[in-house]
Amino acid sequence: MKIREFDTISAIATAFGDGGIGIIRISGDEAFSIADKIFEPFDKNKTNLKINEYKSHTLTYGVIKDENLIIDEVLLSVMKAPKTYTCEDVIEINCHGGNTSVKRILQTVLKNGARLAENGEFTKRAFLNGRIDLSKAEAVIDIINAKTDMGHKMAINRLEGKLKQKIDEYRNDILTMTAHIEASIDYPEHDDETMTYSMIKQSTEVLIEKIEKLLKTADTGRIVKEGIKTVILGKPNVGKSSILNNLLNEDRAIVSNIAGTTRDVLKEHLNINGIALNIVDTAGIRETEDEIEKIGVEKSKQYAKDSDLVLLVLDSTKPLDDEDMELLDFVKDKKILILLNKIDMETNIDISKISNIIKEDSILKLSAKEDLGFDELKEKIENLFFEGKLNINEDILISNERNKSSLYNAIESLKNVLTTIETKMPEDFISMDLIEAYRYLGEITGESLDEDVIDKIFSEFCLGK
Ligand SMILES: Nc1nc2c(ncn2[C@@H]2O[C@H](COP(=O)(O)OP(=O)(O)OP(=O)(O)O)[C@@H](O)[C@H]2O)c(=O)[nH]1
Ligand SMILES: [Mg+2]
């Protein structure tokens, strides 16, 4: 399987800081000979063995030495190529955690001939050596960075190769079409041109539909991966900060009965039923002469514009006024939930005025003070984004911009195929566009990508992975 020759690299694979164990990883042709120089097993039967005489995928207890100085007691994993993470010979040294042992061992490994690995270089080798495709490599980084169970599951699906399977299927469809065209060009006597055109037209339309469906998952994919951008918006003093605190279960934001308490936006992360929410508490929106508050109000509006979800808070003890209506008008095109807060007190709000703008089931009664209505709010948010639309165990979601633009470009090329057919241009043009679509799809699995793009993708990985 191994197709390229590389030098031997090493890095610390575990996170920095205190911990039970730390792991130093070495990969490449020299991995075993470097380990021979620095590792001494306790087992007398192994003392005279070279590491490449050890059984593969075993652990050996011993010490790491720098010259004659013992650095740490370790467990040494020996994994022989090609059945390893990188497809190369791999050594992993499990030593005591904390910063000192791991650093000293890494220094010793480097001194004995390895080069410090770049970010993501181990995974890059797994890709370049053909063990995983690019969609799986990107899944690895998404697993490491996952903030929620859902995000994690989405990445695991991709690691299992579900995205690659789909892309391969689309690419195969294209190959079948190009083969058909080639045949009709080479053996025109066997082929009726109108037949070819109508067959290609139909297959292209079906394929466009399939790719569009996958592309449509990108919004959900981003939300699962990065969280729902949520903004709490409303007039001053309606209880926005109180609602944030309640959702977070802590007194994060300052709450007071003085209107204009929150002046700047306050950002927090929150996890509800496995969904990430990036929530922003904003300064109450009102006409104000106060320069600082003005800036806060502008920021609040900007955040609301860029959000996935607006939680518009109204004070249920007061009648709706023009300012409320203006706010409503400002956000009416967004995904929105209306929170009627302070229902522990006498209600004076009449929501019939807004029932023609907002669906009734988007209006929720709440009391931040008495902790009422929050379970329903969380359920609503979940339903709003995921109900019926998503089976996270099965669905493949597109979650990165790179994949999104490759799919978009593939669709554009396929649309050109349809134009060529409509305008009855020669079949060669069809092949050219099909091949272009094939190439765009290959960018997702990494089969058709330039080396520098690949380098850039892996440079965003963490060190030691
Ligand atoms: N009775 C009652 N009072 C509440 C409730 N929620 C908030 N309050 C009170 O309303 C006042 C304003 O609350 P905040 O959470 O600071 O309101 P805000 O919307 O963040 O206000 P600004 O930051 O000034 O825009 C405080 O005195 C809170 O204690 C509620 O559900 N019931
Ligand atoms: Mg506030």
The predicted model scores a pTM of: 0.75
Beta bridge partners of 268: 279
Total number of domains constituting the chain: 3
In this structure, is residue 463 part of a structural domain? no
Cα(309) to centroid(ligand 1), Å: 21
In this structure, is residue 460 part of a structural domain? no
71, pLDDT greater than 60: yes
Q: Please give the pLDDT value at position 391.
A: 63
Q: What are phi and psi of 137, to 5 degrees?
A: -60, -40
Compute the half-sphere exposure of residue 403: CA atoms within 13 Å on the CB side of its CA. Answer: 27
Parallel/antiparallel/unpaired status of strands 309-315 and 336-341: parallel
Pair 306, 342 in one domain: yes
Pair 344, 314 in one domain: yes
Pair 187, 234 in one domain: no
What is the rounded radius of gyration, in angstroms, for the C-alpha atoms of the chain? Answer: 30
**Residue list, ligand 1 pocket, CB within 6 Å:** 234, 236-242, 255-257, 259-262, 283-284, 341-342, 344-345, 367-369
Q: Please give the pLDDT value at position 132.
A: 93
In this structure, is residue 456 part of a structural domain? no
In this structure, is residue 4 part of a structural domain? no
Cα(442) to centroid(ligand 1), Å: 54
Beta bridge partners of 212: none
Name the 3-class secondary structure at 288: coil
Of 132, 154, 186, the last residue of a domain is 132
Higher-confidence residue of 79 and 138: namely 79
Of 132, 156, 171, the last residue of a domain is 132
Q: Please give the pLDDT value at position 191.
A: 59
Pair 170, 106 in one domain: no
In this structure, is residue 123 part of a structural domain? yes
Pair 263, 356 in one domain: yes
Pair 260, 380 in one domain: yes
For 344-363, write each residue's pLDDT tens digit.
Answer: 999 999 888 888 888 888 99
CATH number of the domain to which 245 belongs: 3.40.50.300
Count each helix (H run) and each strand (E run) in the chain, helices first. Answer: 15, 13
pLDDT category at 99 given cuts 50, 70, 90 is confident
Cα(376) to centroid(ligand 2), Å: 22
Residue type present at position 37: K
Q: Please give the pLDDT value at position 60.
A: 97
For 369-415, write each residue's pLDDT tens digit.
Answer: 999 999 999 999 988 887 655 566 667 889 888 999 999 999 999 99
Pocket test for ligand 1, best of 231, 233, 237, 266 (most atoms within 8 A of CB): 237
pLDDT category at 113 given cuts 50, 70, 90 is very high
Residue 249 belongs to what H/E stretch? none
Pair 234, 381 in one domain: yes
Q: Please give the pLDDT value at position 1.
A: 44
CATH number of the domain to which 408 belongs: 1.20.120.430
For 14-68, write each residue's pLDDT tens digit.
Answer: 988 888 999 999 999 999 999 999 999 999 999 999 999 999 999 999 999 999 8
CATH number of the domain to which 96 belongs: 3.30.1360.120
pLDDT winner (highest mean) among 252-256, 302-306, 436-440: 436-440
Name the 3-class secondary structure at 294: helix
Q: What is the mean pLDDT of the chain?
A: 90
In this structure, is residue 458 part of a structural domain? no
Pair 253, 343 in one domain: yes
Q: Please give the pLDDT value at position 185.
A: 74
Higher-confidence residue of 198 and 36: namely 36
Using a 10 angstrom Cβ sphere, with 0-12 exposed, 13-18 middle and 19 or more buried, the burial of residue 115 is middle
Pair 127, 156 in one domain: no
Pair 405, 361 in one domain: no
Percent pLDDT > 70 in the chain is: 95
In this structure, is residue 332 part of a structural domain? yes
Q: Give the lowest-confidence range in 133-147, 187-201, 331-345.
A: 187-201
Ligand minimally distant from the alpha carbon of residue 260 = 1
Q: Per-residue pLDDT averaged across 329-348, rounded?
A: 92
Q: Please give the pLDDT value at position 212.
A: 95
Cα(264) to centroid(ligand 2), Å: 9
Pair 355, 231 in one domain: yes
Which residue's entry shows tokens 């994994």? 79
Q: Please give the pLDDT value at position 2.
A: 44
Domain that holds residue 160: 140-217+397-446
In this structure, is residue 436 part of a structural domain? yes
Pair 128, 30 in one domain: yes
Percent pLDDT > 90 in the chain is: 58
Q: Is 270 left (phi over 0), alpha (psi -120 to 50) or beta?
A: beta
Q: CA-to-CA distance for 223 and 26, rounded, in angstroms? A: 36
